[in-house]
């Protein structure tokens, strides 16, 4: 049992959780702690998050403010769609050509400045220390690296971010340091987030992309702006639910809970196979309903699937002891990469402010490439680009990520 008088922090990393707790103990609020944990998670879990990826943040403050900070990545201004399609067909979905605009730093800096109480330099310190002193390898992280060993070894620089001595997977508990990332984070702490979008870090990324056939350019970094949106609001029994709106998949959370609410509270509360069966099937139904909607929001969101009457119709398909056949689910959408994980952070502070934060590189270890000297992998979000080129930004949403939400 974990207990605290300062609040609670939940992440998938001991180092990231410790960073959030440290900030709470220093008097920071939930946003301060969540941002510190997010930066540290990018160090300790380089496969699922980091400066090269994207971030969604859902905030609920004790004074009644609810906001979704949308860190969706816009596609670079100039993309060769024919070459990108050929890369996808060849199943070579890694490399510089699939890198889109990294938004995590801008999103976290915006969130901190607007809703936090501490400076960017202050919340970066735990991440800097973790990168310098090292983090402990986990069985899960080693397993992912082993699965992508061929692609990681193909990069002369990426291998040194993930592997011991650039060659070995290591063993659980081994400590892996990332001095390049420590230096990058120190530069950001000193010069601010702008250095990655208009400064020296942007110059380094631009040069790397030009040299290696990537489409991302400094102009794409410079024009990026963080967006805010109103969360989806719903209820589940006696709880108020806030979920991330389009382009996030908060609608899936709403519909899943609507379906579950048609069943008795006793069934949902019981620790039983029947309960698990209903929860799995409700999730499958909601995912099927939302799968047909394009990730970049090409068509208006179909709000009717969030209606309780629709939930009752879908719940009627759930039968004890029987998995719903694919043919009855309806649209199943494109192949999902749900197994390719995102990273999640939940924080609540002593005053009751709460944050739910989701980060991703779009695929495990993203594009499997990194700009030499910077210490972090780039995302692979262009592999999800399916639309014709246009002069306005196309915002991409990684397929298979679970939506940020809170009750």
Element of type H or E holding 228? strand 227-229
Question: How many helices (DSSP H) and strands (DSSP E) are in the chain?
Answer: 17, 13
The strand ranges marked E within 232-379 are 232-236, 239-243, 343-349, 354-360
Closest CA to 54 of 376, 374, 335, 392: 376
Closest CA to 61 of 24, 28, 30, 19: 30
The answer to whether residue 332 is catalytic is: no
**Count of positions (residues) in the chain:** 407
What whole-number distance in Å separates Cα of residue 129 and Cα of residue 377? 19
Strand partners, 354: 60, 348
Closest CA to 68 of 77, 59, 76: 59
What whole-number distance in Å separates Cα of residue 324 and Cα of residue 278? 11
Q: Given 342, 397, 401, 404, which residue is catalytic? A: 342
Token pair 């350019």 is found at 217
Q: Which residues are catalytic?
A: 342
């Amino acid at each position: 049992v974990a207990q605290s008088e300062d609040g609670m922090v939940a992440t998938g990393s001991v180092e990231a959780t410790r960073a959030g707790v440290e900030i709470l103990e220093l008097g920071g609020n939930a946003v301060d702690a969540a941002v510190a944990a997010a930066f540290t998670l990018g160090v300790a879990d380089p496969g699922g998050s980091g400066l090269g990826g994207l971030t969604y943040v859902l905030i609920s403050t004790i004074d009644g403010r609810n906001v979704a900070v949308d860190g969706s990545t816009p596609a670079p201004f100039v993309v060769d769609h024919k070459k990108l399609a050929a890369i996808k067909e060849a199943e070579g979905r890694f490399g510089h050509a699939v890198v889109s605009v990294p938004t995590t730093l801008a999103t976290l800096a915006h969130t901190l400045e607007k809703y936090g109480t501490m400076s960017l330099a202050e919340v970066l310190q735990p991440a800097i220390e973790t990168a310098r002193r090292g983090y402990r390898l986990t069985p899960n992280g080693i397993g992912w690296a082993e699965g992508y060993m061929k692609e990681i070894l193909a990069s002369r620089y990426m291998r040194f971010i993930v592997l011991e001595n650039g060659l070995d997977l290591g063993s659980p508990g081994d400590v892996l340091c990332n001095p390049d990332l420590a230096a990058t984070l120190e530069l950001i702490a000193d010069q601010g987030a702008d250095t990655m979008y208009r400064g020296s870090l942007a110059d380094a990324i631009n040069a790397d992309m030009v040299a290696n056939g990537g489409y991302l350019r400094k102009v794409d970094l410079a024009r990026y702006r963080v967006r805010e949106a109103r969360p989806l609001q719903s209820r589940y029994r006696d709880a108020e639910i806030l979920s991330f709106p389009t382009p996030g998949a908060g609608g899936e959370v709403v519909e899943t809970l609507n379906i579950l609410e048609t069943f008795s509270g006793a069934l949902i509360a019981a620790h039983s196979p029947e309960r698990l069966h209903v929860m799995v099937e409700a999730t499958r139904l909601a995912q099927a309903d939302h799968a047909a909607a394009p990730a970049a929001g090409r068509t208006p969101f179909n709000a009717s699937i969030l209606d309780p009457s629709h939930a009752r119709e879908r719940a009627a398909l759930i039968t004890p002891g029987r998995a719903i056949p694919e043919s009855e689910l309806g649209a199943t959408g494109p192949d999902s990469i749900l197994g390719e994980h995102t990273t999640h952070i939940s924080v609540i502070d002593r005053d009751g402010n709460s944050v739910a934060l989701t980060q991703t590189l779009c695929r495990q270890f993203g594009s499997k490439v990194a700009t030499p000297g910077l210490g972090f992998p780039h995302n692979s979000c262009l592999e999800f680009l399916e639309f014709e080129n246009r002069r306005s930004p196309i915002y991409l949403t990684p397929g298979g990520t679970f939506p940020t939400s809170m009750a």
